[in-house]
Amino acid sequence: MCKPTTTVNSNTDFSSQKNKMIPSVGFGTFNSFKDNDKVYEAVKYAIKHGYRLIDCASLYGNEKEVGRAINESISEGVVTREELWICSKLWNTEHDPKDVEPACRRSLEAMGLDYFDIYMMHWPVHMSKQSKLVSDRDGGEFEIEIIHSGDRDRLAETYQAMEDLVEQGLVANLGVSNFSSRQLAELLQDCSIPPIANEIERHPLLQQPRLFDYCQEHGIRVIGYSPLGKIGYREDGSPDMLAQPTIQRIARETGKSPSQVVLAWAVQSGSCVIPKSLTPTRIESNFDIQNRFLTIEQMNDLYDLDQGHRYVRVPYYDFPDDAIDLSLTQPKATKGVVDEDNVYRNRFERPGKPLGSNIIIESGAIRKLKDRAREYVPEHCHEAKNYVIVDEIVDELYGDVVVQGFNDAGLETYKIVIPADAVDESGNPSAERHKTLGNFSKCADQILENGISKNSCIISLGGGVVNNLCGFLASSLYRGIALIHITTSMMGMTDAAIDFKQAVNHHLGKNLLGSYYPATNIVIDPEVLETLSKRHILNGISEALKHALAQSRDMTEAIVNPLRDNLHKALRDPAYLEMVCRECIDHKVPTLTNYKDSDFNEMVPQYGHALAHAIEHLSFHTPGVSPLLHGEAVAIGMAMTAEVALILGVCDQATVDDHYKYISQAGLPVFVPKNLSIDAIQYKLTYDKHYVKKPQMGLLQEIGHMHCQDNGSYAVEVENDVIKAALQAHMKRRDSCTNPSKDLYTLDACKAVGFRKHNRTNSPSSVADANGEWDPATASSFGEICNC
């Protein structure tokens, strides 16, 4: 058995290494099995220029030269060993568990190293010992004999042997390469030491969004190989990625090279890259792309280039086209950018008829309106008459301040106030029953009588009701004038305003009259949440939690953990609330931009809503039941929907339990009120917009992942007897719950959502007294909601 140059044992301390982040830009050492001395020189130059991730493999045939460059750089004081991430790979002929350790030790000895920072399984393929490289033509030609390709049990055996390398101190971390999400899911169930990286081909023409998202959500860093495509030996008919018109245009716009644009896209989208070059100037330029110079618009244009094209295809492995990997061809999240003034910006849009909105989050946006107004209102509206529309409650707080801010900025602006109720049936302020054609017409009359032009702008100031009414109004006046939203509710910030849908209510139903019409700008000022009740803040957080449960466990825990630890503090923490808004928007934006591409984009925003709409409506019309706010109903609806998924075999019991845990820890109601019957809920389900002959709903396979059917659809038709069984299971769980402090709203959580209604006097049905404090004498009504 070969030994490395320095003896390593299981006491090797990797603690400092494990706290490091894998660098975003590394250096690839594959050079088509040629010119090893030139690779040595290139690695030395790369380390000197700042590269700290060096990607190697025994297959490449240059371990001796790469190791010499690394060790000389260390001895010369250019870098310390602890600063480096050295990655190597187990070749396919060494998969037999007894061969794994000798293979690793041979590589360490060849490179003169004590340990590897990451040791990867190169391919999920086992070849016989007789398999070999026979030519270096076009990246390598092989004579091969396949023992297995992708066999779960055998891959697990090989990986378990790799885990022994960690125990012996030969390897700090483990990784894989060319694994699909299905293979990763199986490996995560079978292993003791999860892989920290998956090295795959990734670039704008092959983005692998489903696999990428799966890796991100399971803490596996994607390292993209061939990030510039194949430059030297592309197959006939294979696209020249760097010559793509979009990439060329963005290169001109940014003053960067096409290569830098492509590498920057990869880094800004969240993966590592390992470009290779023997040319010093290219080595430098490939590294100097980490200052996030691409705008949101440019990133979205690059996302649009995905065509699933692989430059790297090998004769010994067919990349699995399993549904988990390929059913969804869009990103799960589109990250916003934060500028030097800590202003967050994101954007959503759709192809076809132009629909696009900019989203701006800035604390103090209303205070700074004099300085910001001309940015918010489109330039062509600056000389026209503009109209702020606000409801009576929000008007008392911000109406005059906002109108004054626009006028002080030199924009001629007028205010129109619509009615609102200080208290509705739920004991909350609301303008919902005033979102009517009557008030639509009154606003239109005032605007037309006072004067309007094609260049006028409608500015909505308020929550979702005002946002929706103004959107429909702007789309109708002169067949469409400019629209901006300044949304003042948490529900508006996480849901209502972040959409193209605009509507008013009809006496036969909610939101029956409307249009699809974009606001040019959507402005969110987290400071306004100081005047919003805690119950209403939680109401909006529920919509963010919906996206989190459906799209990201990390986001779920980021939302829930602060609420679990100190609900009172979190609901009044501007930084926390802004984080919730940003995360929700990041995950909602791709569902809007890619809406027509997959019903995933309908099922995620509607997660839990089929059942939620039913119980929300019934709560307002059933004696003995306290009305539920929309977000509260959604929280309960998601828990019930998880029961549906369990019965259908889509998810396991742990996923159902996670729903109840996360929702209740967030301070939201988790159980349907006791006076609502199964028959009433099932009957009301027939009015859901997705109901045809049966209820349709999206289901979760696990937290962070929607279930995709074999036909590629995320909309699952559910039999009525399944709904009934799910409701029975949910109510049985509710009725058997004996520890409310663990599984339901706690008393402190109930106190935390005692609320002030924008400084107005609370109704007798509130759980808070006139000063906004907890009032046990009036808590019974809200207790019905929280089951405590």
Burial code of 76-114, b = ≥16 C-beta within 10 A, e = fewer?
Answer: eeebeeeebbbbbbbbbbbbbeebbbebbbbbbbbbbbe
Helical segments of 332-460, H only:
369-376, 392-394, 400-408, 437-450
Alpha helices in 136-257 (DSSP H): 152-167, 181-190, 209-217, 245-254
- Per DSSP, the three-state class of 276 is coil
Rounded to whole angstroms, the Cα distance separating 259 from 282 reads: 9
- State the burial class of residue 453 (Cβ atoms within 10 Å of its Cβ: 0-12, 13-18, 19+): exposed
Residue given tokens 């594959």 in the structure block: 30
3-state DSSP assignment of residue 416: strand
Catalytic residue (one of 60, 376, 387, 662): 60
- DSSP letter at 23 equals P
Angle at 384 between CA 382 and CA 385, to 5 degrees: 115
Mention every residue, 6+ apart, whose C-beta is less than 8 A from residue 141: 133, 134, 135
CA 407 – CA 170 distance, rounded (Å): 69
> Which of the 8 DSSP states describes residue 395?
I
- Residues facing 706 on adjacent strands: 700
3-state secondary structure of 559: helix
H or E element, residue 17? helix 15-18
Q: Which of 142, 144, 145, 122 is nearest to 133 (CA)?
A: 142
Cβ pair 615, 681 in contact under 8 A: yes
DSSP code at position 769: -
Pair of tokens at residue 196: 């920290």
Which DSSP string corresponds to 654-702?
HHHHHHHHHHHHTT---S--TT--HHHHHHHHTTSTT-SSS-EE--EEE
The position carrying tokens 């003791």 is 192
- Residue 461: beta bridge partners? 390, 486
What long-range pairs does 250-259 form, CB within 8 A, spacing at least 24?
250/294, 250/298, 250/301, 250/302, 253/298, 254/293, 254/294, 254/298, 256/289, 256/293, 257/285, 259/228, 259/285, 259/286
568's tokens: 């009172």
Instruction: Measure the CA–CA gap between 595 and 682, rounded to whole angstroms.
Output: 29
The answer to whether 608 and 638 have CB atoms below 8 angstroms apart is yes
Per DSSP, what are the bridge partners of residue 506? 509
Nearest to 209 by CA among 329, 336, 320, 311: 329
Specify whether 60 is catalytic: yes
Residues with catalytic function: 60
